[in-house]
């Protein structure tokens, strides 16, 4: 059995004060549900605030959006895994499409970051997804397989701590969604591929992301291949976030 994971990616929103207000409101109406986890990928400066507020809630977790693979050094502007852990993060996004497409992150970088996260005690959420051009060329599966190949060579106990988020680039922040059936098909292909790399596919969560909203979340998580959602815009409003984390899974 895989848990159902609802992960909010706050991107460059909610500094410490905003994070505190958000979580205070969220926690007022949050009721834990067995088998469900809620993760918050906050800006680095807000992680300590989030971690302090979710402390004691077993199903809530603070995460970092972007890490460097070195533990320390002359890397202006970067945050290392030990620093994120010290601030209270227990997970890290790796290879988000905005990092890949706006900041030039490569597969080599994501491979190093996955390894650094695992070595330092963070659960990496490896983000994969095709651009619209790649999709129209029929390259979706080739692209996500290539991006997932950075997991090759990891030990079984390392692979057991990895998550994948399938986020078609054309669906992020655009209001467009892959249909639940299309998304599930890609998830199935990813699962099969990483299984070939030695990943424990029965337990590895694969999340879907890209313009997930309260009214689209239920149909996505109704697919048995979709183990949760990674949400940007709709995770910033406590009311829509509350609606997403409490969708029914029939």
Residue number, 42 or 212, with CB nearest to ligand PGA: 212
Q: How many residues bind ligand PGA (CB under 6 A)?
A: 13
Active-site residue, 167 included: yes
| Shortest distance, position 95 Cβ to ligand PGA, whole Å | 11
Between CA 207 and CA 118 the distance in angstroms is 19
Radius of gyration of the chain (CA): 17
Contact 4, 229 (CB under 8 A): no
| Shortest distance, position 9 Cβ to ligand PGA, whole Å | 4
Contact 139, 109 (CB under 8 A): no
186: Cβ contacts below 8 Å, ≥ 6 apart: 140, 141, 144, 166, 168, 178
Which of the following is catalytic: 96, 187, 193, 223?
Answer: 96
| Shortest distance, position 61 Cβ to ligand PGA, whole Å | 16
Q: Which of 4, 9, 94, 115 binds ligand PGA (CB under 6 A)?
A: 9
Question: Helix and strand tally (H, E) in the chain?
Answer: 11, 8
160-219 residues in contact with ligand PGA (CB under 6 A) are: 167, 172-173, 209-212
Residue with tokens 């239920």: 218
Q: For ligand PGA, which stretch binds (CB under 6 A), given 17-25, 149-157, 214-222, 231-239?
A: 231-239
Contact 82, 117 (CB under 8 A): no
SS3 81: helix
Residue number, 154 or 212, with CB nearest to ligand PGA: 212
Active-site residue, 96 included: yes
Q: Which of 20, 233, 240, 246 binds ligand PGA (CB under 6 A)?
A: 233
Enumerate binding residues for ligand PGA (CB under 6 A): 9, 167, 172-173, 209-212, 230-234
- As annotated, the active-site residues are 96, 167
């Amino acid at each position: 059995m895989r848990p159902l994971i609802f992960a909010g990616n706050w991107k460059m929103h909610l500094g410490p004060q905003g994070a505190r207000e958000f979580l205070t409101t969220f926690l007022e109406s949050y009721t834990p549900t067995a088998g469900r986890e809620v993760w918050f990928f906050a800006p680095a400066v807000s992680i300590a605030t989030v971690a302090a507020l979710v402390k004691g809630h077993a199903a809530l977790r603070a995460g970092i959006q972007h890490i460097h693979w070195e533990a320390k050094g002359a890397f202006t502007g970067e945050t290392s895994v030990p620093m994120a852990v010290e601030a209270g993060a227990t997970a890290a996004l790796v290879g988000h499409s905005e990092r890949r497409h706006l900041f030039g992150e490569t597969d080599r970088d994501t491979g190093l970051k996955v390894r650094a996260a695992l070595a330092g005690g963070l659960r990496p959420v490896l983000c994969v997804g095709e651009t619209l051009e790649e999709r129209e060329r029929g390259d979706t599966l080739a692209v996500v397989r290539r991006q997932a190949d950075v997991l090759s060579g990891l030990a079984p106990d390392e692979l057991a701590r990895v998550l994948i988020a399938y986020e078609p680039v054309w669906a992020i922040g655009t209001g467009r969604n892959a249909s639940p059936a299309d998304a599930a098909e890609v998830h199935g292909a990813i699962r099969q591929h990483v299984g070939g790399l030695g990943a424990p596919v029965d337990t590895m969560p694969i999340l879907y992301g890209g313009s997930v909203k309260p009214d689209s979340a239920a149909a996505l998580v109704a697919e048995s291949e979709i183990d949760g959602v990674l949400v940007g815009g709709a995770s910033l409003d406590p009311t829509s976030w509350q609606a997403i984390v409490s969708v029914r899974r029939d």
